[in-house]
Structure 1
């Protein structure tokens, strides 16, 4: 028997929810044929067949949550079935017959009789009770897109509503009045909840609140914009974070409790907390210390769009060492962000407001003030270190020229 396991498909992904099986017991499968689709806290992934043969056992149901290393099903491969000489001869005859049929039909396209579609698109189809295999895709090479699925779903919904009796409407209304509305707690939302709960239960969080005068930075950004450089404000924050992290390495670290050591990480990979319709995702910009502010801005925008379109992959979210969260455009002046375990810190940028400020010369001026929240692991660092780290970050963004000097 060949075991089909839920293998480790990304850093930190230790469990996932079984969304859908593409096969059932007794089905014949080929090598690399998709068998099952799972939802982790970061992505939807398909597990392919490691060998050709017949599905003998399926150990879990759709909706079950399984951990990495779990055996999901077993395949009786062709060599096991051909254990006797008679079976060997029969298999050879069958293979010869199939090969002849293959030569006559001359297939040139799909390896499996399935339409081309991304796992996320297939999920949308299942959620809307649409048979994706019947859809003619409009994407490249006939790929079925999200728009194709939603178009069919809307057409089906309209047809169903026309034939919906008043009695059925009354029943539904009565059930809603009794039970109230519900939102499925599964997929990315559920996995994120599990991970955040683990972080809070494991890490003693401390949150430091502060504020920064970003007037000079905003003016500098506007100058760049007028010259044709459309750089996001958050990209300046990310670069300043990395400069501060290189001076306060304790916050670019991971605690290894088992071996009783704190690893000061040599890479500076910044996770960008991104709000999507499916839940919170954290794509990562790698090697930020080696990249220009222009490059950081470009990559940040691309990753945000990719996450919001449901096209993010596990590779996009690996090996983060520190996380930032820019909620300023949404509003709010403070929060207590939860650390992305096993990292040591996370910083959130809040709303910027114009406020009267008293200068050292006792003059009142109007300045743009941004509030920020920095949560850190108190097992790894202390309050004094957090204050010094945040002060260094503020110093860099309040004086963009100092920030530029650090890049030379």
Structure 2
């Protein structure tokens, strides 16, 4: 004769009002004794609750997110045997020894479920530590779960019998405690099946509620070692533990690793978060070293350039332009006492190109779905200073003559070297030029200075033999490198911009008009 039996939450140790994070059965399921029916999680542990009776699930009395305690009905089971005995955990009567002297109590691996040869990944105590009952002593991890093993009695650790990497089974000796608990404590320690279950952190994927998106509902899989509380924190923050580099023993993920990972995502604008950390090396063991702190400019520009590199899909396009005519004009002006650097010609030529290709003088809005086209023509000019690279802005370049620009560049460069630039002097550019012509090099790949979408790199000009159709003619050529944001500018648009800029620089009349 069948009967309906209520399955209640058993004694799960020192936990009250524990949250249901997973329901492992459905109405109509046939379950056997010790099949897991729900998963609970506190701030210290995650544990699967088994059924003490076999039968067919007739009702489920809890929901994901419910807080339940000992004695609450979890589900109903239709059993074929009305007299089916419920296997309960019997409380052992306290029978403290009258003996006052200390006893050595062996602590062994309790019943941790269907696991064999589980690896020790963390030892949480040392010889001499004073432990309270239920303090965690080691952490075990299988391919399915991570679990902390508590001590069944209080006392002082007298010896450790396991090492990191050991494989343990039910009943294996973990450590010995010096305890005043006497014979009773000893008898409890050798009956692991009667002890409080291990604090288990299931690595299985919990069922997602309809209001929870996939990225935050799944418990991360992979080879990450982390305690139950860390796994819970990772789920709450939506962090995939497999992408977090652990700094604890055996690369175990710690609280600080999770927080550092989230901070990296925030400071980098959400990208590049999966980049592994650079290994920390003591270089002094290879020879003499010296510590030189980075300047404030180095620190600020480093963070900004890292964010630009990680967030912008870069493309760099190279070209060489014949500047014989430009250089001849520049030398003529020099003979007249007018000193003009090649950079002012490049600035004017870039403005002419930007007018014909407004997409290069734009920025993406916050949504990334719209372009903000700038109607003004301000250029950022990268300048080398004793303290590092700075990019002051020359405004309204389209409205200034070559001599005006030469004068302003000289003044701005002097202020940059002397550290007199103000924050406002480095804001408002629509396009940047980085010139290494005075230093050297044949080509380089400049990093787009976000929120701009393009930057022009200029290298040192040199005379090369160029075929004119009949002969090789000595020609002064200027190497250019255009880097751009491929979300905004495609290769064809980049090619047309470079061809247009090349044409302008070759014909000095277009710059002077």
TM-score range, shorter chain: 0.5 to 0.7
Secondary structure of 2:408's aligned partner: helix
Alignment-derived partner of residue 500 in structure 2: 392
Alignment-derived partner of residue 48 in structure 1: none
| Map 1:92-107 → 2, pairs under 5 A | none
Deviation at 1:393, TM superposition (A): 0.9
Alignment-derived partner of residue 371 in structure 1: 479
| Map 1:140-219 → 2, pairs under 5 A | 180-219=289-328
| Map 1:258-269 → 2, pairs under 5 A | 258=367, 260-269=369-378
Secondary structure of 2:477's aligned partner: strand
197-206 vs 220-229, greater mean Cα deviation = 220-229
Which of structures 1 and 2 has the larger relative contact order (alpha carbons within 8 angstroms, sep 6+)? 1
Alignment-derived partner of residue 336 in structure 1: 445
| Map 1:74-113 → 2, pairs under 5 A | none
Find the partner of 1:382 among 478, 483, 490: 490
Deviation at 1:329, TM superposition (A): 1.3
Deviations 1:161-205, CA, capped at 9 Å, x for gaps: xxxxxxxxxxxxxx8986612221351101111000000111001
Structure 1: state its 5+ residue gaps.
1-66, 69-174
Alignment-derived partner of residue 342 in structure 2: 233
Q: Which has the larger radius of gyration?
A: 2
Measure the CA separation in 2 of the matches of 1:383 and 1:306.
37
Does the Cα contact within 8 Å between 2:295 and 2:387 map onto a contact in 1? no
Deviations 1:200-245, CA, capped at 9 Å, x for gaps: 1110010001101111111110011112211111000000001100
Measure the CA separation in 2 of the matches of 1:266 and 1:189.
32
Runs ≥4 in structure 1, deviation > 4 angstroms? 175-179
Secondary structure of 2:384's aligned partner: strand
TM-score normalised per structure 1: 0.55
| Map 1:247-396 → 2, pairs under 5 A | 247-258=356-367, 260-360=369-469, 362-396=470-504
Measure the CA separation in 1 of the matches of 2:435 and 2:477.
15
Alignment-derived partner of residue 72 in structure 1: none
Measure the CA separation in 1 of the matches of 2:434 and 2:368.
31
Deviation at 1:259, TM superposition (A): 6.1
Alignment-derived partner of residue 15 in structure 2: none
**CA shift in 2, pair 1:179/1:390, >3 Å:** same
Measure the CA separation in 2 of the matches of 1:196 and 1:330.
21
Secondary structure of 1:320's aligned partner: coil
| Map 1:115-154 → 2, pairs under 5 A | none
Measure the CA separation in 2 of the matches of 1:300 and 1:186.
24
Cα-Cα RMSD? 2.2
TM-score normalised per structure 2: 0.44
Measure the CA separation in 2 of the matches of 1:402 and 1:239.
9
Deviation at 1:402, TM superposition (A): 2.7
Deviation at 1:281, TM superposition (A): 0.3
Measure the CA separation in 2 of the matches of 1:382 and 1:277.
37
Measure the CA separation in 2 of the matches of 1:363 and 1:258.
54
Measure the CA separation in 2 of the matches of 1:334 and 1:281.
20
Alignment-derived partner of residue 220 in structure 1: 329
Measure the CA separation in 2 of the matches of 1:228 and 1:331.
26
288-297 vs 343-352, greater mean Cα deviation = 288-297
Does the Cα contact within 8 Å between 2:295 and 2:388 map onto a contact in 1? no
